[in-house]
Amino acid sequence: MTTILPQPLTPTLAPIRLRAKLARTILEQVLARVPVDVVLPDGSRLGGMAVRPSEPSGIRPTVELRNPDAFFERLAHHPKIGIGEGYMAGDWRAAPGTDLADALRPFAERLTTAIPRAWLALRQVVDRAIPREQRNTVTGSRRNIEAHYDLSNDLFAAFLDQTLTYSSALFDPTSPVEGQSLEDAQLRKVHAILDEARVQEGSRVLEIGTGWGTLAIEAAKRGAQVTTLTLSREQAALAQRRVEAAGVAARVDIRLEDYREARGSFDAIVSVEMIEAVGEEYWPTYFRTLDRLLAPGGTVAIQAILMSHDRYLVTRRSYGWIQKHIFPGGLIPSLQALSAVTGRETGLRVTRVHTFGQDYAETLHRWRATFLRAWPEVERLGFDETFRRKWEFYLAYCEAGFASGYLDVAQLRLERTA
């Protein structure tokens, strides 16, 4: 599978040359505030924060800029997308001895302070709107989900644990993380959210976002009757085989169905990291649907990736690398935004929040390490070197976001309080 990567603009165009020079100037000013060394092909360093006398030698992450001209052209064309596309193209890399996520983390930690205030006025000039074709209409959602989740079941199986769970694990805080298996931590997450939703024997459960079936299997093992919805044919087919192998097929109904098309009445509604694919435009529809489907006295439990409300307001209409290359139509909400829409549109209220963002950083770190070890196997599936760099950057970029606290993840309980 060949990954299409936009080429840098032709450097002979005078406006682009000027913008590329401006991009370099801005990056130099950013590096004056961020402790990351950027080394040019001739061995010189690009700008950079002065080394403090007390700073131990070799403590700083180091990035090698291998093709500066192409990289700055990409930044000039689209700053939010150019960094990731530059990595995909091999314009830059983490230097030997520097982990990619460690190189990205200092930028994530200083996201609101790294860019000099004078340059922030350019945001409205460089930001681009999310393309309308990525809107999460009924047909658009199916297309957006298929673009990621239907890449290949074998691809995901190559780096996920045996549960095939593609969301944050929940590690036991009472013992060292290093000694815990990812499989155990994923099952701990699944049972934590089933507990949040009060799933027990006899519960009628609706799951929005089947994944590869692990949550449905564990809920059925509790004696629940599970209806689970997905838009991914690849996931549905494998989930059905896994449900049958687990001996719970009689308790699990897997449907290729949009949440907006669901009917019935359920004691518990559970959804793990699916709200990010709904899109702000459709949040009212999503939560009204949950309210409509939830039986009296029932409970909703959602696992959601979150960001601060200030950052959500800044990024909510801005098109970024993740949306272009990984999750078309995706948007990370804030807890405040979700609480506001549920309060305005439904009788549901957030009654409990459990955050565990550092566990997501650990989960992503393990996925990336496994993905890179398994690359020969993934390559045999037909994926190319650009795809490898794209997914390496994606996993490291997200890890840095959670490790820095820029992103968080939480299990939310929603109930009718009146």
198 dihedral zone (left: phi>0; alpha: psi -120 to 50; beta): left
Helices vs. strands in the chain: H and E counts, helices first: 18, 10
| Alpha-carbon separation of residue 372 from 221, 359, 385, 388, 396 (angstroms) | 34, 20, 11, 8, 12
Give the pLDDT band of residue 56 (cuts 50, 70, 90). low
| Of the candidate ranges 128-142, 214-228, 265-279, the one whose mean pLDDT is the lowest | 128-142
| Of the candidate ranges 104-113, 226-235, 353-362, the one whose mean pLDDT is the lowest | 104-113
Q: Residue 11: is its pLDDT beyond 50?
A: no
Q: Residue 328: is its pLDDT beyond 90?
A: no
- Beta strands of 116-202 (E only): which ranges? none
Helices (H), 326-412: 335-345, 357-373, 375-379, 385-404
Closest CA to 225 of 246, 206, 197: 206
**Whole-prediction pTM:** 0.92
Which carries the bigger pLDDT value, residue 115 or residue 341? 341
| One-letter amino acid of 255 | R
CB atoms within 10 A of CB 13: 12
Q: Where are the domains of the chain?
A: 14-126, 134-416
Q: What is the pLDDT of residues 79-138, one digit of tens each?
A: 889 999 999 999 999 999 999 999 999 999 988 776 766 655 555 556 666 777 777 777
Q: Residue 289: is its pLDDT beyond 60?
A: yes
Strand ranges across the sheet with 252-256: 252-256, 225-230, 204-208, 266-272, 294-307, 407-416, 348-355
Residue 77 is predicted with a pLDDT of 83
Give the pLDDT band of residue 12 (cuts 50, 70, 90). very low
At the fourth CATH level, the homologous superfamily of domain 134-416 is: Vaccinia Virus protein VP39 (3.40.50.150)
DSSP state of 262: -
> Under a CB-based contact definition with an 8 Å cutoff, are residues 362 and 171 in contact?
yes
Residue 143 is predicted with a pLDDT of 79
Angstrom distance (rounded) from CA 190 to CA 178 = 20
Give the pLDDT band of residue 47 (cuts 50, 70, 90). confident
| One-letter amino acid of 175 | S
125 dihedral zone (left: phi>0; alpha: psi -120 to 50; beta): alpha
Q: What is the CA radius of gyration of the chain?
A: 22
Residue 213 is predicted with a pLDDT of 98
Q: Residue 179: is its pLDDT beyond 90?
A: yes
> Under a CB-based contact definition with an 8 Å cutoff, are residues 132 and 328 in contact?
no
The residue to which tokens 């199986």 are assigned: 157
Residue 52, C-beta contacts closer than 8 angstroms, at least 6 positions apart? none
φ/ψ (deg, to 5) at 299: -135, 140
Q: What is the pLDDT of residues 314-324, one digit of tens each?
A: 888 888 899 99
Percent of the chain with pLDDT over 70: 89
Q: Which residues of 340-365 are buried (b: 16+ CB within 10 A; e: fewer)?
A: ebbeebbebebeeeeebbbbbbbbbb
The residue to which tokens 């709200």 are assigned: 275
Q: Residue 293: is its pLDDT beyond 70?
A: yes
Give the 3-state secondary structure of residue 266. strand
Q: What is the mean pLDDT of residues 194-205?
A: 98
Give the 3-state secondary structure of residue 138. helix
Residue 139 is predicted with a pLDDT of 78
Angstrom distance (rounded) from CA 183 to CA 355 = 20
Residue 287 is predicted with a pLDDT of 98
Q: Residue 147: is its pLDDT beyond 60?
A: yes
**Residue 46 CA to chain centroid, in angstroms?**
30
**Residue 288 CA to chain centroid, in angstroms?**
25
Mean pLDDT of the chain: 90
Long-range contacts of 123-132 (CB under 8 A, 24+ apart): 123/314, 126/78, 126/79, 126/80, 127/80, 127/317, 127/318, 127/319, 128/78, 128/80, 128/318, 128/319, 129/317, 129/318, 129/319, 130/317, 130/318, 130/319, 130/323, 130/329, 131/319
